[in-house]
Amino acid sequence: MTAVADRFAVRVMVTDVWDQVFLAVGPDTTVADLKRQALAEALRRGSADAGAYVVKFRGAQVLDEATTLGALGAGANAAFIVLPARRQPVR
């Protein structure tokens, strides 16, 4: 197998901008790397504070961001959500 065959696409919804990005990742990609890549692509800012965001997969928050996508059981077209860790006030 080649390195390209081990990669697959996942969908990441970044709620700050209500934008969905598609990332090519591998089973050894960590959740922290996924979050960092999604924020960089969606927000298009130099540095977003990744610590101010959390990741959800299958409706539950991923508490250990050092976990790999393979360990989570994520496959092709898996959906993730990146949202602020603190709730936003509604006016």
Spell out the domains of the chain, with CATH numbers in brackets: 8-84 (3.10.20.90)
Mean pLDDT value of segment 5-11: 88
DSSP code of 50? G
Q: pLDDT per residue over 29-87, tens digit each? A: 999 999 999 999 998 866 678 888 999 999 999 999 999 999 999 999 999 999 998 87
pTM of the model: 0.84
CA distance 10 to 36: 14
Strand 60-61 with 8-14, pairing: unpaired
Q: Which residues pair with 11 in a beta bridge?
A: 22, 79
Return the structure tokens found at 4.
Answer: 């390209």
- d(C-alpha 22, C-alpha 29), whole Å: 14
Instruction: Count Cβ atoms below 10 Å from residue 77 Cβ, excluding itself.
Output: 10
